[in-house]
């Protein structure tokens, strides 16, 4: 089963989400898992074809944290998943890997499927520490309560997200193999690994067929039906 996850970032509306879920449900096949990560105000129950999730959850479980939203609150909306550690939230909230692990821990405790995002910056890549950063990202962002196959890793090279550039097929294959080896070493080898950054209808077929790529996480190209539906069609 391949996974196609859309991240709407701070875009969209409840009406637009209803429309997208209807359209996606009509084209999605049984061997595909479609997930839509939307702003908190749009969270709701999905359906058999489309899982709906949040873009982050709090690292606290409850209490005096004005403006924060807990994993239990997200689950209470009917949503069933959440991103954690997306590069944009790592930057905005100054999250360390340990913070991301706390968020993922609360997600798992509240029956939300977390997608834990890891990836290296441009400088880290150019100075030759990209692989080390990604391996640390996986080892330190996965919480202790994570079960084999009970969460998802998304490899998102931070130098490529939202820029319309993608790594080479070989670069994606190499990083996914390193992540797979790390997960196996942690006893979590069945965990799906998504690739994310500048995926489009044009490049998705090649990316989805790379070894150890279990699916894709898509930002910009998940916003409009005319971009997102062809991606689904090309993976089917
Ligand atoms: C993302 O935000 O997770 C992402 C992959 O963005 P984009 O597809 O626009 O690069």
Quote the ligand 1 centre to 146 CA distance (angstroms).
25
Burial of 195 (0-12, 13-18, 19+ CB in 10 A): buried
Range of the domain at 145: 2-235
Instruction: Name 61's Cβ contacts closer than 8 Å, sequence gap at least 6.
Output: 70, 71, 72, 106, 109
Which residue numbers in the chain have pLDDT < 50? Answer: none
Query: Cβ distance 212 to 184 under 8 Å?
Result: no
Q: What is the pLDDT of residues 122-180, one digit of tens each?
A: 999 999 999 999 999 999 999 999 999 999 999 999 999 989 899 999 999 999 999 99
Structure confidence at residue 29 (pLDDT): 81
Structure confidence at residue 30 (pLDDT): 78
Ligand 1, atom 2: nearest CA belongs to which residue? 219
Quote the ligand 1 centre to 164 CA distance (angstroms).
9
Residues involved in catalysis: 86, 156
Ligand 1, atom 3: nearest CA belongs to which residue? 219
Q: Which atom of ligand 1 is nearest to the CA of 154?
A: 3
Total number of domains constituting the chain: 1
Ligand 1, atom 8: nearest CA belongs to which residue? 219
Structure token pair of residue 199: 């995926």
- CA separation for the pair 34, 112 (Å, rounded): 15
Structure token pair of residue 102: 């706390």
Beta strand pairing call for 193-196 and 152-155: parallel
Burial of 24 (0-12, 13-18, 19+ CB in 10 A): buried
Quote the ligand 1 centre to 204 CA distance (angstroms).
13
Structure confidence at residue 28 (pLDDT): 87
Quote the ligand 1 centre to 72 CA distance (angstroms).
26
Structure confidence at residue 37 (pLDDT): 98
Structure token pair of residue 105: 């821990």
Structure confidence at residue 162 (pLDDT): 86
Which residues sit with their C-beta closer than 6 Å to ligand 1?
A: 7, 156, 161-162, 196-199, 217-221
Say what angle helices 97-109 and 130-141 make with each other, to 10 degrees: 40
CATH code of the domain covering residue 152: 3.20.20.70
């Amino acid at each position: 089963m391949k996974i196609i996850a859309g991240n709407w970032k701070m875009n969209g509306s409840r009406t637009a989400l209803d429309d997208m879920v209807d359209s996606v449900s009509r084209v999605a096949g049984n061997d595909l898992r479609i997930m839509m990560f939307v702003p908190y105000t749009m969270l709701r129950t999905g359906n058999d074809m489309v899982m709906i999730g949040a873009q982050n959850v709090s690292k606290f479980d409850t209490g005096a944290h004005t403006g924060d939203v807990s994993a239990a609150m997200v689950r209470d909306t009917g949503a069933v998943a959440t991103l954690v550690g997306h590069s944009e939230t790592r930057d905005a909230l100054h999250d360390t890997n340990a913070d991301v692990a706390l968020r993922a821990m609360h997600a798992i405790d509240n029956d939300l499927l977390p997608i834990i995002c890891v990836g290296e910056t441009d400088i880290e890549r150019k100075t030759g520490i990209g692989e080390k950063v990604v391996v640390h990202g996986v080892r330190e962002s996965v919480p202790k309560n994570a079960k084999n196959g009970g969460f998802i890793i998304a490899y998102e090279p931070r130098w490529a997200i939202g820029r319309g550039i993608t790594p080479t097929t070989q670069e994606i294959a190499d990083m996914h193999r390193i992540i797979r080896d790390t997960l196996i070493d942690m006893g979590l080898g069945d965990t799906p690994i998504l690739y994310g950054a500048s995926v489009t209808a044009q490049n998705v077929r090649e990316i989805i067929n790379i070894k150890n790529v279990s699916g894709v996480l898509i930002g910009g190209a998940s916003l409009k039906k005319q971009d997102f539906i062809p991606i689904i069609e090309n993976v089917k």
